[in-house]
A = this chain, B = another copy of it.
Amino acid sequence: MQLGLVGLGKMGGNMAERIRRAGHEVVGYDRHSEKRDVTSLEDLIGALQAPRVVWVMVPSGDATRSTVEKLAGLLEPGDVIVDGGNSKYTDDQIHDVLCREKGIGYVDAGVSGGVWGLENGYALMVGGTKDDVAKVQPIFDALRPPEPEDASGQAMPGAGFVHAGPVGAGHFSKMVHNGIEYALMQAYGEGYELLAAVDLIEDVPGVIRSWTQGTVIRSWLLDLLVRALDEDPALDRIRGYAEDSGEGRWTVEQAIENSVPMPTIAASLFARFSSRQEDSPTMKAVAALRNQFGGHAVQAVRDQEVERPA
């Protein structure tokens, strides 16, 4: 089938490649990329036969909003817009209303796979009506991993793709995926730090590597940690500084909204915040308080011991 693809960055470019390998025609547009096939959204629409499917793969927020709005003004009833970026699920619900008014279908697709997706396939979590999803299904089938099987070698129908519910359900599922991802990474990190903190463990990378087979905690992330330690055995070349891209925050916000206790994912998010602080105002206050009741002058705190039997 034909697919219009808006956004040919690292993710979009690789996805176009994978879709083409599966035998589909991709007409790509990007404001800047030399890889683009057309030079405007109008030309993109013109190059596609109705009913059209246009996949939006641009940064979430303003860029996605404005692209969806423009497309909604250009497309015709029966066409479908897919947002494959990292949008907040509430944005999808707004976009859906916008499209629905014009008879245009809207599908949100959470996409996981990163730079490995071109070869391994992309996991897809999708939201929308049954009919709209069906129109995009050949593309989803091209993108998703080819032969799903679980780690025990059993076939797992449904691995790598889900139609999770109505519009928003795809990005909501991807958001939760990323929240979990934060906590998994933090958990491995904490274990790594403890191993590295004791003299008893003489081969920290070796211990991590041993876990990749036969254990309860084996995973793809653990394999990646082994790779990282192969390149930099004590992680000397990397700072303990981690950005976050929104989904972790949204996950905890949704937990709060729904009264769901979420201690590990929240702790992982806070650890990222801390990792980016030059100094911690909270701990300044704690240090100041210890000074106050310990009776020491407030100055360079590091050089004093202000605790007391008291």
Residues in B with CB closer than 8 Å to A191 are 176-177, 179-180, 251, 265
Interface assignment of A84: CB less than 8 Å from any CB of chain B? yes
Q: Do the beta carbons of A220 and B151 come within 8 Å of each other?
A: yes
Residues in B with CB closer than 8 Å to A298 are 228, 231-232, 237-238
Residues 285-304 of A contacting B (Cβ, < 8 Å): 285-295, 298-302
Chain B residue nearest in CB terms to A123: B214
Q: Do the beta carbons of B283 and A240 come within 8 Å of each other?
A: yes
* Interface residue from B10, B210, B225, B264 paired with A264 (Cβ < 8 Å): B264
Residues in B with CB closer than 8 Å to A210 are 123-125, 158-162, 164, 173
- 8 interchain residue pairs of minimum CB distance: A115-B295, A219-B219, A240-B283, A183-B187, A114-B310, A162-B210, A123-B214, A160-B213
Stretch at the interface among A26-34, A131-139, A142-150: A142-150
Hey, what's the 0/1 contact readout for A210-230 against B, CB within 8 Å counting as 1?
111111111111111111110
- A244–B283 alpha-carbon span in the complex (Å): 12
Knowing A253-B256, A293-B116 touch, does A288 contact B188 (C-beta < 8 A)? no
Hey, what's the 0/1 contact readout for A74-88 against B, CB within 8 Å counting as 1?
000000000011100
Residue of A216, A227, A281, A294 most packed against chain B (CB within 10 A): A216
Shortest Cβ gap from A165 to chain B (Å): 4
Knowing A187-B264, A193-B285 touch, does A89 contact B125 (C-beta < 8 A)? no
Shortest Cβ gap from A224 to chain B (Å): 4
Interface assignment of A41: CB less than 8 Å from any CB of chain B? no
Knowing A186-B282, A197-B260 touch, does A310 contact B223 (C-beta < 8 A)? no
Knowing A214-B144, A260-B273 touch, does A125 contact B164 (C-beta < 8 A)? no
Interface assignment of A169: CB less than 8 Å from any CB of chain B? yes
Interface assignment of A268: CB less than 8 Å from any CB of chain B? yes
Task: Tally chain A residues at the interface, Cβ within 8 Å.
Answer: 159
Interface assignment of A69: CB less than 8 Å from any CB of chain B? no
Known contacts A186-B263, A221-B293; 13 further A-B pairs (Cβ under 8 A): A113-B214, A125-B210, A152-B223, A158-B209, A166-B200, A177-B215, A180-B217, A185-B286, A187-B265, A188-B285, A240-B282, A252-B256, A261-B273
Interface assignment of A156: CB less than 8 Å from any CB of chain B? yes
Q: Do the beta carbons of A193 and B239 come within 8 Å of each other?
A: no
Interface assignment of A258: CB less than 8 Å from any CB of chain B? yes
Interface assignment of A8: CB less than 8 Å from any CB of chain B? no
- A189–B192 alpha-carbon span in the complex (Å): 22
Can you pick out 17 interface pairs between chain A and chain B where the beta carbons lie within 8 Å of each other? A11-B309, A89-B200, A114-B310, A164-B203, A177-B211, A177-B217, A179-B194, A180-B188, A186-B264, A193-B261, A194-B254, A196-B281, A197-B281, A219-B222, A232-B298, A238-B299, A245-B307
Chain B residue nearest in CB terms to A124: B210
Q: Do the beta carbons of A280 and B261 come within 8 Å of each other?
A: yes
Interface assignment of A259: CB less than 8 Å from any CB of chain B? yes
